[in-house]
Chain A
Amino acid sequence: MTLNASARPERLRHLAETTTAVAEALTRRAGHLEDAYDAYMLANGPDWRIDVSALDEALLAWAETLTGIGAFVGQVGTAFESAGGSGGDGVVTVAEYRMLALLPCDARIVAEAAWGAAEVDWGDPEEPPEWIEELGTTSMVVGHLSEGVDAVEVAFVVGSGADARRSLATPAVLGRFASAEAMARFGNALGWGAAGLAGVAAGLEQWVGDGGTVNFTDHELAARAATRGVGTGAASLAGGAAGTIAATYLCGPGWPACAGVVIVGAGAAATFGGDRVLDRVLDRPGPAQHDPDLVADHVTGYEPGDRPGDVADSTWDLIEDTETQGVAAGERNFERRNAALFDDDIAPETVDALDLPAPWVEREARFPPGWSRVRDLDGEVVAL
């Protein structure tokens, strides 16, 4: 029996590229840490500094380990590609032994050593947030409603502008509208609203979808979202207008089914066509595909020489939180270390051991300056 192996080689290579970029960024980061630590060690006395020299080395070691597994994954991807194989949806399936034979020696040893290990459930790939889908559904419903009104207008209203009037076949439900003109205005408003909503939903989806991919700068994100939003809105408007014109000529008054089919069909065609065009213009990176340079910048973050204004608020918050915790820990450490010095009644052994000056011993240290009680060496209060 031949065992098969499968994978999406492209995604494996993407992960290899990402790990390389991440490791590069962390190495850069570790360099900044080392510089800062060297200066810290020089300027702070041995009793007043913390030895964290192992941490930059640990960071470098982690980056190196990540590079190693990334390289392994990349080699596996290349082996799958070289082995040929078949499969749909980007999945390549080959005989396991063929793929292993194409791996470099050390990678093959690693793979073969994993025989019998358990597969990990890594969860599902991330999907866009639910609220975006809901917004998209809402825009679609409003769009269909708008198409419905357009269809009703074509079927039951004759004439246009001030001459517009209901045809003989107008159903009673249209009595809600004061006039055929009002209905036309309502239809227009609904059409614009549907187009706007569709544009906003599509733009947001583009923004959120692009945002997590680490492939675009902030300007590119905004431009792509605007292009998607405006394009989708324009396609929706164009589809509505084209459908109405087509239905007017093709169906005319008294044929609601015909008008409905033509208008909905035109709307769907415009949306489909618009999406295809926009997909071509705004080509989207594949799953787990990132721009390595942007990944490196993203992971490196704020660097010496950057403007403080470029630091994200969340970064400042964490720095401040770290500092606040440190201050509290430093105070606790100081108080614990020197508790004997601040006792109301300092033990004679402490006075001797620490060579404490008499005025210090006489003063009850816990009172703030100016409000000291003075005690004699026997501990009696002699003055306020």
Chain B
Amino acid sequence: MSGRPWFYEPVVSDHDTADEALHQLTLCSISLGEALALLTADIPSVVDGWEGMARLAFDEQMPGILVAGYQLAGALLAAGVAVSAAYESSVLEGDLRARLRADHQAELAAAAR
């Protein structure tokens, strides 16, 4: 096999930026949740006494918008989990490669003796 083995390839990851991305994704999800809670609480008062075609148009569209909002809030949290998972995986991979490198160098040293 030519060249250095694969475990000499560095694992490029950064805790601070991964952590900040996780924070921002979670905070976005919280913001969206707050917005949805506010709208959900307001809508019954807003539609109270509202009748006619404009109301029907509102009723036709708003539930879908709210559902999409809840799904997006869930997706943002899931993305936060994924960012954290990718970082954790990178840390473990970095440790693994370091151990493999150490063993490889021990093997080379033994062969040289």
Chain A residues in the interface with B (C-beta under 8 A): 3-8, 11-12, 14-15, 18-19, 22, 25-26, 29-30, 32-33, 35-37, 39-40, 42-45, 47-50, 52, 55-56, 58-59, 62, 65-66, 69, 72-73, 76, 79, 89-91, 96, 99-100, 103, 107, 110-120, 122-126, 212, 214, 287-288, 290, 295, 298-302, 315, 318-319, 322-323, 325-327, 329-331, 333-334, 337-338, 341, 354-360, 363
Contact = CB atoms under 8 A, between A and B. Distances in A.
A30 B28 contact: yes
B85 A333 contact: yes
Contacts of B62: 69, 120
Given A73-B58, A360-B103, A48 B11 contact: yes
A44 B13 contact: yes
A109 B61 CA distance: 14
B85 A91 contact: no
Contacts of A114: 53-54, 56-57, 59-60
Contacts of A52: 21, 25, 79, 82-83
Interface of B: 1, 5-6, 10-14, 16-18, 20-32, 34-35, 38-39, 41-63, 65, 68-69, 72, 75-77, 79-93, 96, 99-100, 103-104, 106-107, 110
A357 B57 CA distance: 68
B84 A5 contact: no
A29 B28 contact: yes
A327 B82 CA distance: 9
Contacts of A301: 27, 30-31, 34
A1 to B, nearest CB: 14
A62 B69 contact: yes
B31 A119 contact: no
Contacts of B69: 62, 66
A288 B46 contact: yes
Contact of A22 (B6, B38, B88): B38
B88 to A, nearest CB: 3
The 4 lowest CB-CB distance pairs between A and B, nearest first, are A326-B84, A330-B88, A5-B52, A45-B12
B92 A334 contact: yes
B18 A6 contact: no
